[in-house]
Amino acid sequence: MTISSLAKQLREAMHVVVFTGAGASAESGIPTFRDALTGLWERFNPAQLATPEAFRADPSLCWGWYEWRRQKVGQAQPNGAHLAIAELAKHVPRLTVVTQNVDDLHERAGSQGVIHLHGRLNSPRCIDCGHSYQLQESLEDLPEEGSRIEPPRCRACDGYVRPGIVWFGEMLPEDAWRAGLEAAEECDVFLSIGTSGIVYPAAELPLRALGHGATVVHINTVRFDVSSQEHFLQGPASARMKSLLQEAFGDIPAL
């Protein structure tokens, strides 16, 4: 599918879903999950850092890694893709943003009502009672990468506070997953940006959209196999989204 033909469909669409993965934030300098396991963290594998069992076995190790990730997110800025997605909402009757990312770059770019399938780094909770916890805003004084950090304690039950993200072996948040499915089934155009579609159950969303008659377009720097009914635009998300908005809606603010 060409940019011009997709632009025409965007102009005619009543409901657009934008589904983002790690590639959408990579241009902001945020390491992907696999990229983060380099440098001082390379001696660990994801199973040592991203399961409830791993957290209970070594809370300070896991909390230190996630606080390092949160520091990276806090230092990053929304890129052109995030800004273009927020701008798109001004030009279509309805836009739903669904993300696998645990950062807040969509919100900081101006997107509203973002559905976070894998949770958020800034929304930790108690591992025992589930009570939410308010994190400190400043991360300037955090130890360097690779450091252990003792997690806070829950004010309700004194259990350890854990990162508010979905770990291996855990279910997606029920409300977020239901909302994502409903949006996929109702949309006219489904843009999958920066995700390879291999992480389930989230990868079911473009298939669900396709099954309900939507135009499904994948935007990624690396080409991968898609069905004959789906479309692929190869290139950086920021460049592709800027071009798409300009083609569809003419002059837009600088992104």
Q: Please, are residues 249 and 11 in contact by the beta-carbon 8 Å criterion?
A: yes
116 a catalytic residue: no
Neighbours of 171 (CB within 10 A): 8
73 phi-psi bin (left φ>0, alpha ψ -120 to 50, beta other): alpha
Name residue 119's amino acid: G
CA-nearest of 125, 189, 112, 217 to 163 is: 125
Specify whether the CB–CB gap between 148 and 64 falls below 8 A.
Answer: yes
Q: How far apart are CA 124 and CA 63, in angstroms?
A: 10
Cβ–Cβ under 8 Å, residues 202 and 190: no
Element (H or E) spanning 88, and its range? helix 80-88
Active-site hit among 118, 212, 218, 231: 118
Edge-to-edge strand ranges of the sheet holding 95-99? 115-116, 95-99, 16-20, 189-193, 215-220, 231-234
Among 171, 137, 165, 131, smallest CA distance to 63 is for: 165
Closest CA to 13 of 84, 111, 85, 92: 92
Catalytic residues, which ones? Answer: 118
